[in-house]
Amino acid sequence: MNVSEAFAAIALAAVACDGKLSRDEAHALRGQLEYRSIYSGLSESQMGDLFDNLLKLLRSGGVESLISGALPVLSVPQKESALAVAAHLVHADRLVTAEESALLDKLAAEMNLPGDEALMVIRAIAALNRTSLDT
């Protein structure tokens, strides 16, 4: 797995962990990847191939295979970004399931980021998506 596949694998794991892929999540996943320079130059066909390969891994080994294949490939800054994107995608449909929350906890533990950095990333993204301003 290369860096672009690994980063996308973490993002796909975030939206696939609850067994459902909502329209909002799929749109957010695509948008989050297209926003990043490593994916912006890919053609539709190349993006399709990337997701086809990742979906094969997902079907054969589950979310665990995506995560275990991806984490060793990513540097610390890439892991930080992947965790932030995963947290953002979990919040994309405005409903965080128990499975999604467990995935974020698992990612935070397995990424081995310094100090409480992983927890801070997750909390910041949760705060960003909180509806506390709604009246």
User: Could you report the per-residue pLDDT of 10-44, keeping only the tens digit for each?
Assistant: 999 999 888 877 777 778 888 889 889 899 888 88
The third-level CATH classification (topology) of the domain covering 3-129 is TerB-like (1.10.3680)
Instruction: Enumerate the domain spans of the chain.
Output: 3-129
d(CA 121, CA 126): 9
| C-alpha 121 chain-centroid distance | 13
Share of the chain above pLDDT 90, in %: 47
- For residue 114, the tally of other CB atoms under 10 A from its CB is 8
d(CA 29, CA 74): 19
pTM metric for this prediction: 0.89
Helices (H), 35-111: 37-40, 44-70, 76-90, 98-111
